[in-house]
Structure 1
Amino acid sequence: MIGTNEHREIVDWEKTTEDGRTVYVIEYSEPVPEPTGRSKTLFGAGSGGTVPAGEQHFELPDGTHIPATEAAFDADGTTLRVRRKRSVVDRLRRYLPW
């Protein structure tokens, strides 16, 4: 689960919509850093090996999985906001007539 460890747990969360995009606002029991890189606690493979970049994901409180390459974060104290970045294809669709 995103942002949790042996000392930090999720206290409350909500799923909202901003600008037509889903945003998760997650409140933790203690300050949470903005996830960066590929932390073992977020992406560790059960076999001890590495997880290919295309298969890495974040699990959100409702069970939704967001690919690590598409996740964007904003951390403020004990609150973490998680949203899915628009993919390159989605951004191109906005400008191309097809």
Structure 2
Amino acid sequence: MIGTNEDREIVDWRKITEDGQTVYEIEYDEPVSAPTGRSKSLFGASSGGTVPAGEQYFHLPDGKRIPASEAVFDADGTTLRVRHEPSMVARLRRYLPW
């Protein structure tokens, strides 16, 4: 789950729509910062191996998974806002017949 660890727990969360995009507002029990790196524990590489970039996902509170490369974060105090912004390649794949 995004942003949880042994010391930090999710207090509340909600899913809203802003400008046609789904935004998750996740509130924690202590201040949080926006994820900056790709932690092995977030991506299941606890065996010491690496996980290919195309298989790295963030798990959101409602069970939805978004690709790590397409997640945008904004942290403010105890609140983390998460948006899914598909990459240009992902957008093109939807429209090209290959």
Question: What TM-score do you get using the length of structure 2 for normalisation?
Answer: 0.86
Identity of paired residues, percent?
76
Secondary structure in structure 1 of the residue aligned to 2:50: coil
Moved more, 38-47 or 68-77: 38-47
Runs of 4+ with >4 A deviation: none
Q: Number of aligned residue pairs: give it.
A: 92
- The gaps in structure 1 that reach 5 residues or longer are 94-98
Superposition pairs for residues 1-98 of structure 1, below 5 Å? 1-89=1-89, 90=91
Where in structure 2 are there 5+ consecutive unaligned residues? none
What is the CA distance between 1:39 and its match in structure 2? 1.5
Q: CA RMSD in A?
A: 1.7
CA contact (8 A) 1:44 1:50 kept: no
TM-score in terms of structure 1 length: 0.86
User: How far is the alpha carbon of 1:27 from its aligned partner?
Assistant: 0.1
Whole-Å separation in 1 of the counterparts to 2:18 and 2:79 = 17
